[in-house]
Amino acid sequence: MTQDENLAAVVSNAAQDIGSFIRTQREAAQVSVRQLAEKAGVSNPYLSQIERGLRKPSADVLNQIAKALRVSAEVLYIQAGMLEPSEASLVRDAIITDTAITERQKQVLLDIYNTFCLQNEAEAEIDAAAVESEQPAAQPTTI
């Protein structure tokens, strides 16, 4: 397989992955292809091609689809291979993509999670400042 063919295969796999992910999210939201296309401001055939893995959407189109599906654009960017997932984003993604809970429950969980993250960051900063203040001052060297 040539380098160009290999690259084409990688792009095709990424397109299929993001397409199937969008389809799963759309079905979980109980929205038709036509409804999602209208909400996202893209054509029905184009969205259908994305879902079937025939087209790879741009970041702008992914952002529009994310808004229409009420999911984080970051989730779609990660699924499309445009962003590397962080530990915090993996937790957020799991909450956002969970089909067993309602949108309201997802928002409550995200609010709680974000509160804990902010609290932990603040405590880490306080701990770091305390450690710095306990360090003895550098002694001047005499020659």
Q: What's residue 8's pLDDT? A: 46
Burial 20-32 (b: 16+ CB within 10 A, else e): ebbbebbeeeebe
Residue 70 maps to which CATH number?
A: 1.10.260.40
Q: What's residue 12's pLDDT? A: 46
Q: Which domain holds residue 63?
A: 3-83
- Give pLDDT tens digits for 47-84: 999 999 999 999 999 999 999 998 888 889 888 888 88
Check residue 70 and give left, alpha or beta (phi > 0: left; psi -120 to 50: alpha): left
In a domain, 140, yes or no: no
Tally the domains of the chain: 1
> DSSP assignment, residue 47?
H
Angle of helix 33-40 relative to helix 44-51, nearest 10 degrees, comes to 110
In a domain, 122, yes or no: no
Cβ neighbour number for residue 110 with a 10 Å cutoff: 15
Asked whether the whole model's pTM tops 0.85, one would answer no
- In this prediction, the residues of the chain whose per-residue pLDDT falls under 70 are 1-16, 135-143
